[in-house]
Structure 1
């Protein structure tokens, strides 16, 4: 079990902003998962990987793939209090789900 969080590299987010967006995505996708997946992922160490995307459209394409495969996922839109305009799409979390299912959506992306 793992979760992949895909963050936009094209926005130039600071390290703190990036960390916050990744955390938001992780929690939201966890909440989208069923109880069995939540328990299994938590019990196996909550494995995560952070990957990069280069556009909003890329995040939505990945979210569509996850949706079609019925994998829990979440898109994050920034509130706009600091570095970004309100509603800016910053990150996508895919999973928790079995490693091979998450890889089927995000396996071709580079590490952040």
Structure 2
């Protein structure tokens, strides 16, 4: 399913929402954001090649934003999905800092910045 968001010259980005209530260390957050970014990129490459190419050729912009908890993260994920944006939820195996099965972050995109900002524009950077 191609999203069809292309506007002339619009930049594409990928956003990752990270839960702050889990108190993950910096390294753990980096790993979780990495998982979300890779999964989003693979999904775009397989399902929306034009968006993937636009994002890759534009420098693979990634923005990491914070959400307070699982409820807030799911609310933003559902809003993104309702607008036709691709999302990926990362669930941790629980081998290090957090309980097995904990959902740590959600990736959104890649998609045009304006489309993602309609959903996540009010969130603060991590």
Match of 1:102 among 98, 103, 116: 116
RMSD of aligned residue pairs (Cα, Å): 0.8
After TM superposition, give the deviation of residue 42 of structure 1 in Å: 0.5
Deviation at 1:32, TM superposition (A): 2.2
Aligned to 2:7: none
Q: 1:8: which partner in 2?
A: 19
Q: Give the greater-gyration-radius structure (CA).
A: 2
- How far is the alpha carbon of 1:6 from its aligned partner? 0.7
TM-fit CA distance, 1:31: 2.1
Deviation at 1:43, TM superposition (A): 0.5
Normalised by the length of structure 2, the TM-score is: 0.86
TM-score computed with the length of structure 1 as normaliser: 0.96
Q: In structure 1, how many angstroms separate the alpha carbons of the residues matched to 2:80 and 2:39?
A: 14
What count of residue pairs does the alignment treat as equivalent? 112
| 5+ residue gaps, structure 1 | none
C-alpha contact 1:80 1:87 (8 A) present in aligned 2: yes
> Counterpart of 1:51?
65
User: Is 1:73 aligned to residue 87 of structure 2?
Assistant: yes
Unaligned runs of 5+ in 2: 1-11
Instruction: Could you list the structure 1 runs, at least 4 aligned residues long, displaced by more than 4 angstroms after superposition.
Output: none
> Cα deviation per residue 1:21-58 (whole Å; 9 max; x = unaligned)?
00111111222221111111001000111100010011
2:5 aligns with none
Alignment check: 8 A CA contact 1:30 1:72 kept: no
